[in-house]
Amino acid sequence: MKSGLTPVVGYKPRLVFNEEQETLLSKYILRSASIYFGLLPEEVRQLAYQCAMKFNVHNIPPSWHTNGEAGKDWLTNFLKRNSTLSIRIPEATSAGRASSFNRHNVNQFFEKLGDLITKHNLTPSRIWNLDETGVQTVLNPKKILAEKGTKQVGAIVSTERGTLVTVELAVSALGNSIPPMFVFPRLKYKDLFIRDGPPECIGAGNKSGWMTSTEFLVFMDHFIKHTKPRPEVPVLLLLDNHSSHIDIDVIEKAKKNSVILLSFPPHCTHRLQPLDVGVNGPFKTYCSKAQNNWLRTNPGKIMSIYEIPGIVKYAFPLAVTPINICNAFKKAGIWPYNSNVFTDEDYAPSFVTDRPMPENRLSQGTDNLPVPPNNRERTPQYLDESNYVGSNVEIETSPSILQHVPVQSDCRVDCTSEPSANQEPTPCCSFQLPQSADNNTGDKNTTIFSPELIRPLPKAPPRLNGYNKRLKRMTAVLTDTPEKNALK
């Protein structure tokens, strides 16, 4: 064997960034993904090159200068060295959902929920949640076994586009449920539509097949019949802010029959509503399986909306089980009551729009805050006061701005305190490179390695008064007299 092919024992490849720098870069990438502004692979390669140039990192390959970005082989090896990172396909999330699920809105909901539990001495059998879900005649097929390498695998469905039937579900924290209600897209409803449905289910019809206040009044009678609330034993019903739920006739019927209505904060039901958390998902899965079984036993036939009750009859007892319901209430923190069930990581997507309200801003001592020029090096968003400086807008140095700062054991600064007036803000979770002598002056200077100095995390501008006059819903006890009078 030639000596040139002899493997070198203990050989370690030469790295562009040292271990601590790669750790900081990895934390920044994870932080960007947690606030739903993740970086593309190309953006990570560009950021690596910019960091190497900005912080005078040695061992930069010549190809990086030629292409203006790190190479693909560097990214591949970087992912291998940092096992917490991987290339994933993100799920589309609306900006309203990301911004509304914040600590303030959630705390407001839990405060009202805790007050109601204490005031009325509520037990799990008297805490209910209802929600609508849609069942179509065409659902996405489940995974099947097929030939490996085949580009496309087909599965028979009834039609190209399905017709939707709304199904109203209601469950309690004790694990109980009541028979569902169906809303068909038919102006003339007949009881024979639900002859194959679950026992004691009810139905209604309208032009669209969606739930309206008229159909919801029918469901409220159905709900009161099965839960039997009384003035001395009221029932708490948790529901979203859909227009059919906040109708004045619905609220008056609920109050008259000792049903307390508590609404969730807008765009927060994906985390707070038990049916969304742990019931609707299994329910849709079993509905899809039932549809596949129907198509196999009825080859050549097209599924209509009148088969939907039979599909739900199969899926309902399998999905709406006591263990699924109780686990969903527990995960949402409703029962057992746990107002601290959500962590800082759960609130991370709201970081971008976490801004002080205009009416709460402090005007004292903020008139002379300078606006940094565009070419000035920006400090991390959670320590940069310039993010809150705008034309004729006063700022507030709020502790909520700093609550998103990750406190790390290897930080060189105190991440939980604000910089003093004569102190330059220092990026958190960064470290100082070794002191180096300047080539011309011989003076020593230090450079802080922080990817956020190169690519600051996005932050929404401050809120302004008078630009949005639309009424915004928030969590509220709808059956309280002030809320009911306001709806009138």
The residue assigned the tokens 């996005």 is 458
Residue the block writes with tokens 């914040």: 102
Average pLDDT over residues 463-487: 77
Contact 86, 76 (CB under 8 A): no
Query: What integer is the mean pLDDT of 351-371?
Result: 53
Task: Determine which helix (DSSP H) or strand (DSSP E) holds 128, and give its type and residue range.
Answer: strand 127-136
In angstroms, rounded to a whole number, what is the distance separating the alpha carbons of residues 269 and 242? 11
Residue 159: the pLDDT is: 74
Q: In this structure, are strands 202-205 and 448-449 parallel, antiparallel, or unpaired?
A: unpaired
Selected residue with higher pLDDT from 403 and 333: 333
Partners of 432 in the β-ladder: 448
Cα–Cα–Cα angle for 330, 276, 488, rounded to 5 degrees: 105
Q: Which of 196, 197, 214 is nearest to 205 (CA)?
A: 214
| Domains (range + CATH), the chain | 12-81 (no CATH), 96-141+157-346+475-487 (3.30.420.10), 377-462 (no CATH)
User: Residue 130: helix, strand or coil by DSSP?
Assistant: strand
Q: What's the confidence (pLDDT) of residue 156?
A: 76
Whose CA is closest to 109, among 241, 19, 231? 241
Q: pTM for this structure?
A: 0.76
pLDDT at 250 over 70: yes
Q: What is the pLDDT of residue 438?
A: 38
pLDDT at residue 329 tops 80: yes
From 95, 208, 220, 116, select the one nearest 170 (Cα to Cα).
220
What would the pLDDT profile of 143-170 be if each residue is shown by its tens digit? 888 888 888 888 777 677 789 999 999 9
Q: Which of 70-84, 259-273, 394-408 shows the lowest mean pLDDT across its residues?
A: 394-408
The fraction of the chain above a pLDDT of 90, given in percent, is 61
Range of weakest confidence among 36-40, 117-121, 169-173, 419-423: 419-423
Q: Which of 105-109, 201-205, 402-406 has the lowest mean pLDDT?
A: 402-406
Segment 103-130 mean pLDDT: 96
Binned at pLDDT 50, 70 and 90, residue 300 comes out as: confident
Spatial CA neighbour of 173 closest among 332, 283, 280, 317: 332
Q: How confident is the model at residue 357 (pLDDT cuts 50, 70, 90)?
A: low
Does position 434 have pLDDT exceeding 70, yes or no?
A: no
Mean pLDDT of 328-355: 93
pLDDT digits (tens, 9 = 90+) for 42-53: 999 999 999 999
Query: In this predicted model, which residue has the larger pLDDT, 204 or 13?
Result: 204
